[in-house]
Structure 1
Amino acid sequence: MRRQKHLSLKISLGPYSAFIDRIIELAEVRQSSYVCVANVHMLIEAKNDKSFRKALIAADVVTPDGMPLAKALKLLYGIDQDRVAGMDLLPDLLAKAEKEALSVFFYGGSQAMLDKAVKYTEERYPQLNLAGAYSPPFRPLSEEEMKEVAHVITTSGAQIVFVVLGCPKQEKWMYQMKGKIPAVMIGIGGALPVLIGDQKRAPQWMQKYSLEWSYRLMQEPRRLFKRYLVTNSSYLVLLFGQKVKLMFLKKKG
């Protein structure tokens, strides 16, 4: 897929359906690969964290999860880009995997969340081949533990691995596992709690006007207030600076 560099990200381009098709292609051939579902928070983290930025650059696909990124592509580069959100990708990929007889695996999150996810998928996608679900300890894994995890997922026969570790942990984990797990890995973060009903998603009108972050903030104010205050403010400054820079280069050229 073609990409467009935007500050610290190289965002994959194309209609929403092309992202689904590409992920399914990777799964079918069991190519060890991974997909990052990017938003403003990830962009700012990547700017400040070299190892995280390296993981994003090495990704096979980077989707514009947040509406602000999709709109920025239009504002800065004149690119009409669909939003490709993790909360949409997850149910659509589960349905596609069920239809195409592809096996899936959930990695990350609490055991209680995974138990609920397994029950949910069994009820909503009865023909889905669920290869397994694994809740790792809430700490960095040793090299031996990483090898064991790779072995468990590989021997399960999984073709799509949904990674639920949160940003930036899940992206760094996928970067470490590329070449070790013959499957396409997708960092879905907070999409799983929404899918299984632990959290609610913002109404459609808030999604359309780039306000989904404010809805999440209302649900988790203590955890997200500082993140959104810093990241959203920083992004607006960077976006303005990039717009001025491009205008200057255009005028100069």
Structure 2
Amino acid sequence: MSLNYSTYQLFVPKYADVDYESASDIIIENAEKRNSFGVSALAVHGLMESVKNPDLKSLIDKIDLIVPDGQPVRWALNSFYKLGMKERVYGPELTLHVLEKADKNGLKVYLYGSTKDTLKSFRLFINTQYKNVHVCGVHEDRFREATEEEDQSDVQKINESGANIVLVGRGCPRQEFWVANHKDKVNAVMMAVGAAFDFHAGNIKQAPAWMQLNGLEWFYRLTQEPKRLANRYLVTNSMFIFRFLKFRYFLRRPF
């Protein structure tokens, strides 16, 4: 029986009204069938990239399930649509829910993206915590776009591996481009959850729970990686706030 879910547009993306349980159920249902199904955990940064980037904007609708990764996204959706979402659907946490259910079903997972060392550590984490999940392949990021021949080879390797789920860790928005562009090519659920690779590989510490609950994870991560994340959080978050106020109180619509 197919699991249905409603979507609500916020500026550009159409976010699903889901929680961890329902989102992971949807993913596992499609994974068992090896459907070509795209998933993105899209926080403020990804949302604003889709607003600024016409190419990403045109592709974002190809992604089947977009979940509200950030607390500000959840707050905005609740404000516009009165949804009553009680929690965000955070990519790294969603990954754990999916792996737990994949473990119960003995599914195959393919890791695509990130660095050799991170992939090694992430694979070890999965093998240790989820013994019935078979990591059927890994692919280190080239940190450039693949040639047509390379891409065809990548797709062939993934499909021949029998993967049910491809975890994609290429950073936003590169991973969203990859997922959208490989719909109907890769016979698996493709999850754009880049931060999950570094967190679960042990490269980066997650913010304390109270900061996550109060939408302050961005501040914690900024203190950890100020040079890399300053523009993303200070500029992008300000743009989000401005756009939210404009659409909420002047245009009185969410897009």
Q: TM-score under structure 2 normalisation?
A: 0.94
Q: Which residue of 1 aligns with 2:192?
A: 187
> Distance in 2 between the 1:147 and 1:155 partners?
12
Closer/same/farther in 2, CA of residues 149 and 71 from structure 1, 3 Å limit? same
Q: Which residue of 1 aligns with 2:15?
A: 11
> Distance in 1 between the 2:116 and 2:51 partners?
33
Q: Quote the sequence identity (%).
A: 36
1:102 to 97, 107, 110: 107
1:24 to 22, 28, 31: 28
| 2:152 matches 1:147 | yes
Within 5 Å, give how 1:70-89 maps onto structure 2. 70-81=74-85, 82-89=87-94
Deviation at 1:246, TM superposition (A): 5.2
> Distance in 2 between the 1:173 and 1:54 partners?
13
Q: Which residue of 2 aligns with 1:56?
A: 60
2:98 to 89, 93, 100: 93
Within 5 Å, give how 1:207-222 maps onto structure 2. 207-222=212-227
Spell out structure 1 runs of 4+ moving beyond 4 A: 246-249
Closer/same/farther in 2, CA of residues 177 and 119 from structure 1, 3 Å limit? same
Task: Report the RMSD for the aligned CA atoms in angstroms.
Answer: 1.4
Residue type of the partner of 1:62?
I
2:163 to 158, 165, 168: 158
> Distance in 1 between the 2:36 and 2:63 partners?
11
Which 10-residue stretch deviates more, 12-21 or 101-110? 12-21
Closer/same/farther in 2, CA of residues 225 and 161 from structure 1, 3 Å limit? same
Residue type of the partner of 2:11?
L
Aligned length: 249
Asked whether the equivalents of residues 20 and 97 of structure 2 are also in contact (C-alpha less than 8 Å), the reply is no
Deviation at 1:31, TM superposition (A): 0.7
| 2:249 matches 1:244 | yes
Deviation at 1:135, TM superposition (A): 0.7
Closer/same/farther in 2, CA of residues 144 and 205 from structure 1, 3 Å limit? same
Asked whether the equivalents of residues 168 and 192 of structure 2 are also in contact (C-alpha less than 8 Å), the reply is yes
